[in-house]
């Protein structure tokens, strides 16, 4: 398992500050670089990996420390992560000293509180066995397994790099956490992709899948479902047990048991808008317009920041976003977008170069407390704006009962319930207007956009009616017909 310690400093850790901190274990430690120089590793005698320190990240987006660590920090600040291997007891204290010395030199704070120290750690007696790095705990032919113990697992650059390495090596990424840990939307999306898996430690059954609830066993070098005698996958009782029924909340400052605020919590709601836009690929292209329009329509403000990993560190800038996607083309670009701290909102954006042009697949999720109502009355107007100004192909809007802070706990969540589906003018034209506006269900679409070549907006429900799924399935089956399949909306969580 690894233990993380994070230094949040108002000043940039320069080379001198980093070297002073890295030699907290004495001059006998060896240094090496990994991830093209983005990670510095401390090694003990015989090359034993002790601590990895990532390149500092300048965070200019308010609310990221609170969202991911539950700890406030005034922006801008520098985020420096030290990751210690728990295979060596001294390594965790060494990580705390690395961050503690950074704080002593530069100011700021350390997470978790109390982890910082400035006392030199004696690592001279560390056994020499072992090699590699403390990033991945177990590597087999089938899986890369990482053990994480922090309140919220985010899609950090470190975790994204491990995922890319696992994909290249044809391994699944399996994250193992205690039961009280939660996932950010970005981390959830990553672990929901087959064959990745979120493995939750549980005293009752051993391990279970945090997204499906399936009881897991270690077999053939990976965690896989344990099947009952009738061939069905067993489901962990902890996964289906209501949060209000738990009584094993951990002491403050730990992640064992239930997460903070979980016991007895009334679930909020999440508004999910999955949209696809297509643009002509030319020198005038500016991406992010559809995402920004949706954000403003539903929250009243523009996005606060964007980036390729968490913490999201860059102020919102469609121009910079476009430049990055153009630089990476023809390879796709995965981006994260966050809102202001007063309204939980996060989007994943995938930019892809295709024969149709440049496609943006955006899934925007906005959180609301139990006593708040998502602004469903704004969806139709938003769809019209996206059709007229941003090349909308499809948009699926839905609502689900879930945490207002957008994180996912390892418990059963109901599926999103459809509210509306919008089909852009190009697909309406391909299918045929007469057919598209006469679905075999009690749904009467509304024309949006220019009259000669309209889009169609199909109301499906109010976000509480399970029958809306049936209407959506009948609608999409009708629209497919014998014609070319219309563009499908971006996948929702």
pTM above 0.75, yes or no: yes
The string of pLDDT tens digits covering residues 343-353 is: 999 999 999 99
Partnered with residue 345 across adjacent β-strands are 366
Q: How far apart are CA 474 and CA 438, in angstroms?
A: 12
User: Nearest-CA neighbor of 10 among 104, 148, 117, 108?
Assistant: 108
Look at residue 129 in the predicted model and tell me its pLDDT.
42
CB count, 10 Å around CB of 485?
A: 12
List Cβ neighbours of 132 (8 Å cut-off, separation of 6 or more). Answer: 49
The predicted model gives 88-98 an average pLDDT of 83
Tens-digit pLDDT profile for residues 20-70? 887 766 666 777 766 666 678 777 766 667 888 888 999 999 999 999 999
Which pLDDT does position 458 carry in this prediction? 97
pLDDT of amino acid 231: 80
Residue 247 has pLDDT above 60, yes or no: no
Q: Report the percent of the chain where pLDDT is more than 70.
A: 85
> Could you give the count of Cα atoms lying within 13 Å of 300 in the half-sphere of its Cβ?
5
Mean of per-residue pLDDT scores for the chain: 87
208 - beta bridge partners? Answer: 200, 215
Q: Is the separation of the CB atoms in 10 and 77 below 8 Å?
A: yes
pLDDT in tens, 171-229: 999 999 999 999 999 999 999 998 999 999 999 999 999 999 999 999 999 999 998 77
| pLDDT tens, residue by residue, 4-21 | 899 999 999 988 888 888
Instruction: For residue 379, give the nearest of 391, 360, 366, 369 by alpha carbon.
Output: 366
pLDDT band at 330 (very low <50, low <70, confident <90, very high): very high
- Here the tokens at position 174 are 């399996």
The position carrying tokens 């709601």 is 269
Q: What pLDDT score does 195 carry?
A: 92
Average pLDDT over residues 461-469: 94
- pLDDT above 90 covers a percentage of the chain that reads 65
Could you give the CA distance from residue 161 to residue 167 in angstroms, rounded to a whole number? 10
d(C-alpha 127, C-alpha 12), whole Å:
34
Per-residue pLDDT, 130? 43
How does DSSP assign 339-388, residue by residue?
--TTS-EEEEEEEEEETTEEEEEEEEEEEE-TT----GGGHHHHHHHHHH
Task: Give the per-residue pLDDT at 196.
Answer: 95
Q: In this model, does residue 284 exceed pLDDT 50?
A: yes
Alpha carbon distances (Å) from 131 to 41, 240, 433: 12, 40, 64
pLDDT tier for residue 312 given thresholds of 50, 70 and 90: very high
Please, which residues have CB within 8 angstroms of residue 388's CB and are 6 or more apart in sequence?
Answer: 449, 450
How far, CA to CA in Å, does 170 sit from each of 167, 196, 332? Answer: 5, 11, 19
H or E segment to which residue 478 belongs: helix 467-480
Residue 131 CA to residue 55 CA, distance in Å, equals 22
What pLDDT is recorded for position 414?
86
CA distance 24 to 34: 20
- Determine the 3-state secondary structure of 237 from DSSP: helix
> What is the mean pLDDT of the segment spanning 379-396?
98
Whole-number Å distance between alpha carbons of 368 and 94: 41
Q: Does pLDDT of 138 surpass 90?
A: no
For 329-357, b/e burial (b = at least 16 CB within 10 A) is eeeebbbbbbbbeebbbbbbbbbbbeeee
How far, in whole angstroms, is CA 263 from its chain's centroid?
23
Residue 145 is predicted with a pLDDT of 92
The region, left, alpha or beta by phi > 0 then psi within -120 to 50, assigned to residue 127 is beta
In the predicted model, what is the mean pLDDT of residues 136-146? 88
- Domains annotated for the chain, with CATH where assigned, are 2-111 (3.30.310), 138-245 (3.100.10), 268-480 (no CATH)
pLDDT of residue 87: 67
């Amino acid at each position: 398992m690894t233990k993380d310690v994070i230094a949040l400093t108002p000043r940039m850790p320069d080379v001198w500050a980093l070297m002073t901190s890295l030699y907290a274990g004495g001059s006998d430690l060896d240094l090496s670089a990994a991830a093209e120089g983005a990670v510095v590793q401390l090694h003990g005698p015989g090359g034993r990996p002790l601590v990895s320190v990532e390149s500092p990240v300048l965070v200019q987006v308010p609310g990221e420390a609170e969202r991911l660590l539950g700890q406030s920090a005034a922006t801008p600040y520098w985020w420096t992560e030290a990751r210690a291997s728990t295979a060596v007891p001294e390594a965790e204290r060494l990580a705390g000293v690395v961050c503690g010395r950074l704080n002593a030199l530069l100011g700021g704070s350390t997470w978790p509180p109390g982890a910082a120290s400035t006392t030199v750690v004696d690592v001279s007696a560390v056994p020499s066995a072992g090699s590699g790095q403390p990033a991945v705990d177990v590597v087999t032919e089938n899986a890369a397994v990482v053990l994480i113990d922090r309140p919220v697992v985010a899609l950090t650059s470190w975790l994204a790099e491990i995922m890319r390495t696992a994909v290249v090596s044809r391994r699944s990424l399996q994250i193992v956490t205690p039961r009280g840990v939660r996932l950010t939307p970005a981390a959830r999306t990553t672990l929901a992709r087959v064959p990745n898996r979120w493995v939750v430690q549980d005293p009752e059954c051993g391990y279970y899948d945090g997204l499906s609830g399936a009881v897991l066993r270690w077999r053939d070098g990976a965690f896989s479902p344990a099947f009952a005698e009738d061939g069905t996958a067993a489901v962990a009782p902890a996964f289906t047990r209501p949060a209000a029924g738990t009584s094993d909340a951990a002491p403050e400052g730990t992640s064992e048991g239930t997460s903070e605020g979980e016991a007895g919590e009334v679930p909020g709601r999440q508004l999910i808008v999955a949209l696809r836009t297509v643009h002509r690929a030319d020198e005038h292209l500016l991406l992010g317009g559809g995402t920004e329009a949706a954000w403003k329509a539903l929250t009243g403000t523009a996005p606060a920041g964007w980036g390729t990993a968490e913490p999201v560190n860059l102020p919102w800038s469609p121009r910079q976003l476009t430049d990055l996607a153009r630089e990476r083309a023809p390879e796709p670009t995965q981006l994260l977008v966050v809102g202001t701290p007063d309204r939980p909102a996060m989007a994943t954006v995938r930019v892809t170069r295709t024969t149709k042009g440049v496609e943006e697949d955006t899934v925007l999720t906005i959180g609301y407390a139990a006593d708040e109502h998502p602004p469903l009355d704004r969806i139709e107007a938003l769809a019209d704006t996206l059709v007229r100004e941003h090349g909308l192909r499809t948009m699926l809007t839905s609502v689900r009962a879930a945490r207002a802070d957008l994180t996912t706990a390892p418990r059963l969540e109901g599926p999103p319930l459809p509210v509306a589906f919008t089909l852009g003018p190009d697909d309406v034209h391909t299918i045929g207007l007469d057919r598209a506006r006469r679905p075999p269900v009690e749904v009467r679409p509304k024309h949006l956009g220019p009259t000669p070549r309209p889009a169609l907006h199909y109301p499906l429900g109010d976000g509480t009616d399970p029958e809306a799924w049936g209407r959506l399935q009948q609608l999409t089956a009708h629209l497919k017909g014998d014609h070319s399949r219309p563009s499908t909306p971006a996948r929702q969580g």
